[in-house]
Structure 1
Amino acid sequence: MGHVLVGTCSWTDRALLASGWYPRGRRDAEPRLRYYAEQFPVVEVDSSYYALPSRRNSLLWAERTPPGFRFDIKAFSLLTGHPTRPTALPEDLREGLREGLRENRRDGTPELPELRELLDRVWERFTDAVEPLRTADRLGAVLFQFPPWFAPGRPARRAERTLEECAERTAGWPVSVEFRHPGWWRGEQADRTTALLARLGLIAVGVDMARDLDASLPPLAPVTSPELAVVRFHGRSPAWGTGSKEDRFRYAYSEPELAEWAPRLRAAAEQVDELHVLFNNCCADAAVRAAETMRRVLAAT
């Protein structure tokens, strides 16, 4: 069975810092990361979705964590077709693009020539920033989380072509893909999705979330790569898709809820070298507590 690494989707969330989980004297940047890495072997970087990551931070993160520690890096919003504020870009990339960014197609494919050029430059900056983690063997995967309107099939297989382009641009990287549109994993499409990601060398991401919503994804732990599988736990708040971030992710998992996932996780781990189990219910210390419980559940089964 592959290594099962359990962690959370942030170590710097303000609600976590305010919860008291970090001991006194371990709340500044360096001791905070070192403390987190003493507790868990993997973490997801979500700040890279909101702004391009920096090469300097990647160098510092690699220096402050032990061998074998993994960072899963969330792809910048523009790379996954999400609306992107010009202020999220470095100053030298902003000029002349404020209107163009608002016109970006909702399927994630920039049509204006200047936006295609911008996308190329953003890819270059993102790749350069992440490279120190890959060189130091700290990179778990780069997570491409596609928006709810990124749907399979029509129109004209545009989403599938976007995935193909993503695979070409990231050749040689470990890349994980999370869909927010439930159609990717429902019915016969689930087999087509598995085959597509496997053909492209992309890692499928399984999801736990509220299960009685129109946008709910089924509780699967799909495997499309022998190297890595990823499952992300978002919590089961009924406010998913509405309200504030805290409303969407405020959820405390019970031990029985986590235990029901154990057979799926073990089955996935049997097929891969490494399985990442990440908790995104980042409200106060709920994510770290759920990660601790999941680790205990898996150790006991």
Structure 2
Amino acid sequence: MIEIGLTGFGDHEELYGKIKPAERLPTYSRHFPICEIDSFFYAIQPVKNVVKWVSQTPEHFGFIPKAYQGMTGHLRGKKNYFDTREEMFEAFHTSIQPARDAGKLTMVLFQFPSWFDCTRENVELLRDTRERMRDVPCALEFRNRSWYMPEFRERTLAFMREENWIHTVVDEPQAGLGSIPIVAEATSDELTYVRMHGRNVEGWHKSSDPDWRKLRYLYRYSTSELQEWRDRLLALEESSRRICVVFNNNSAGDATDNAKELIALLQEGGKLQPTS
């Protein structure tokens, strides 16, 4: 089964026009069956927010919260609102529980930063992180190429299988050590995550620009590029029961169109059912 969605539900005017914020998620969920929730990255969300989101979506809708930045080492000196690692993870578990209770928690994404390289210390941190997440399905995304260097690639994938991490396959600019190649491999029989970041090489590392986030994800996939991904997804489906794909190239409203086009390409071959 292949499911396609977007990152976030609040910034897609190309999908639903100018409507009240309270109407955005219900409208979004009529188009896509899954949504990555990146607000968790900036702050662990109040339970009441998750309860509301659960109530606004259909029975089989799936949420993919992005792990809080304190859980993935992104803070680098910025204030962490939790005194201990244990307190932080417990707060996250409490926050996502309403989605779990409703059967709407697809997985949690742990995206580690570009400076998180392949070292023994970081491998142990990943083990500790996975243990703290208990039986919650967790996807792992790297931004440092060292994990997929020829001498580490197979060991990285084997480690993810052993530790019950869902592999996050990414499409992103090939811009040196702070980016990773497409590694279309599944580490879970049940779930594989695919994130489409675009291919804006020039914008990927321009962190000094005030609008660097917009530059990073400013890209529109061509039909031929999406056809290549259709074929990759069908191949991945042979080794993983459920493939979840989200488009993150949101800067100019391209994510929605690209997601819709990929859905159409899969439907042409009878490989994807229309979203109700």
TM-score (norm. length: structure 2): 0.90
**RMSD across aligned positions (CA):** 1.6
The 8 Å contact of residues 186 and 218 in structure 1, kept in 2 or not, is answered as no
Which residue in the other structure is 2:32 paired with? Answer: 40
Which residue in the other structure is 1:54 paired with? Answer: 46
**What residue identity is the alignment partner of 1:231?**
V
> What is the alpha-carbon distance in structure 2 between the residues aligned to residue 214 and residue 127 of structure 1?
33
Which residue in the other structure is 1:108 paired with? Answer: none
Which residue in the other structure is 1:240 paired with? Answer: 204
Q: Which has the larger radius of gyration?
A: 1
- SS of structure 1 residue aligned to 2:178: coil
> What is the alpha-carbon distance in structure 2 between the residues aligned to residue 221 and residue 64 of structure 1?
33
> What is the alpha-carbon distance in structure 1 between the residues aligned to residue 9 and residue 251 of structure 2?
12
Residue 194 of structure 2: which of 231, 253, 264 is its match?
231
2:244 maps to 1:276: yes
Residue 70 of structure 2: which of 74, 78, 94 is its match?
78
1:39-87 CA-partner distances (Å, limit 9, x unpaired): 001110011101111211111111111111111100000000111632x
Residue 118 of structure 1: which of 81, 84, 106 is its match?
84
Residue 227 of structure 2: which of 259, 262, 280 is its match?
259
**What residue identity is the alignment partner of 1:290?**
N
> What is the alpha-carbon distance in structure 2 between the residues aligned to residue 262 and residue 195 of structure 1?
25
Shift of 1:299: 2.1
The 8 Å contact of residues 114 and 179 in structure 2, kept in 1 or not, is answered as no
Residue 196 of structure 1: which of 155, 159, 175 is its match?
159
Shift of 1:214: 4.2
Which residue in the other structure is 1:5 paired with? Answer: 3
> What is the alpha-carbon distance in structure 1 between the residues aligned to residue 156 and residue 129 of structure 2?
15
Which residue in the other structure is 1:127 paired with? Answer: 93
Q: Number of matched residues?
A: 263
TM-score (norm. length: structure 1): 0.83
Which residue in the other structure is 1:99 paired with? Answer: none
1:252-274 CA-partner distances (Å, limit 9, x unpaired): 11111111122221111122221
> What is the alpha-carbon distance in structure 2 between the residues aligned to residue 296 and residue 185 of structure 1?
32
Shift of 1:212: 5.0
The 8 Å contact of residues 137 and 166 in structure 2, kept in 1 or not, is answered as yes
Shift of 1:150: 1.1
